[in-house]
Amino acid sequence: MIKIKTIESLSELTALKEAYFNSAIAPLDGMWHFGFVPMAKHFGFYVKQSLVGFCCVNDESYLLQFYIEPNYHKFSQELFTLIAQQNSSIIGEVKGAFVSTAEPSYLALSLDNSVNFKVNALMYQHAPKLIEDQIESIDMKLACAEQLSEFVSFSVTNIGAPEQWLTQYYGNLIARKELFGYWFKGQLLAVGECRLFDQYQTEYADLGMIVAKSARGQGLAQKVLKYLTKHADNQGLKAICSTESSNIAAQKSIIHAGFTSTHRIVQFEFSQE
């Protein structure tokens, strides 16, 4: 019999998180798993006194991760259904789940319990192609603390992200030396991120970019990605990235920069009856 308890400290899950990432058949999206997941509520699965699995649910009541040790897989379907049907008094409301197709077990369980689903994002890995040689190089500069407000204002204007969240997010990237900017005639036209992993997936670098609205459609996104990919490669890291399923322009730029997509992040909806 599995019992569900609230996890007070994520350090309790270190070994299980490592097993979770190792069970994936491709690298998982950095923003989802290292940006959003730490802010979610975590719950542990216990057999007697042993912690054998976990899940986490965000503030919008969607599952973001689900894992149970292989020796206890026989309980996974019943346990997942209990959670999806909102029959756990500990976890409470669960509207659905965000799942990568690189997570076969979690994906299968979500399919079993879904009433509908849609692709949320496409996940990419760098696969060098000859077309990269046709992309002009670009010189990006590492962001410094004094430029934080400039980067925040840029992203508020060009993607509409919350200012408070950006201030904290970009401040952390600057401290880690993972945020870059491209200026032309004194104007910031593009922002690039090359995010490294402190644990799990440490052989990868997760890239992100934003191009000013005024500079879009000119091939700048491809140049930013080429710079960031080279930066990752110089550190012996494999570049990955992702983009929303609705962002066709970004998808074209990513492909032209030498990336291929095999996996998706899928949003599932569970029955609320």
Query: What was the pLDDT predicted at 133?
Result: 61
Q: Per-residue pLDDT averaged across 4-16, rounded?
A: 95
| Phi/psi at 245 (5° precision) | -65, -25
In angstroms, rounded to a whole number, what is the distance separating the alpha carbons of residues 222 and 130?
14
Residue 187 has a pLDDT of 96
In sequence order, what are the residues at sequence separation of 6 or more whose Cβ sits closer than 8 angstroms to the Cβ of residue 168? none
Domains 2-122 and 128-257 share a fold: yes
pTM: 0.91
**Whole-angstrom Cα distance, residue 239 to residue 226?**
10
The CATH number of 2-122 is 3.40.630.80
Domain residue ranges in the chain: 2-122, 128-257
DSSP 8: S
Q: Give Cβ neighbours of residue 7 (< 8 Å, ≥ 6 apart).
A: 13, 42, 43, 44, 54
What's the mean per-residue pLDDT of the chain?
Answer: 94
**Domain 128-257: which topology?**
Aminopeptidase (3.40.630)
Q: 141 pLDDT exceeds 60?
A: yes
Name the pLDDT band for 272 (thresholds 50, 70, 90).
Answer: confident
Question: What confidence tens digit (pLDDT) does each residue in 208-225 have?
Answer: 999 999 999 899 999 999
- Identify which of 237, 226, 255, 210 has the alpha carbon closest to the alpha carbon of residue 139: 226
> Strand 238-244 to strand 204-211: parallel, antiparallel, or no bridges (unpaired)?
parallel
**In the chain, % of residues over pLDDT 90:** 88
First to last CA, the chain: 26
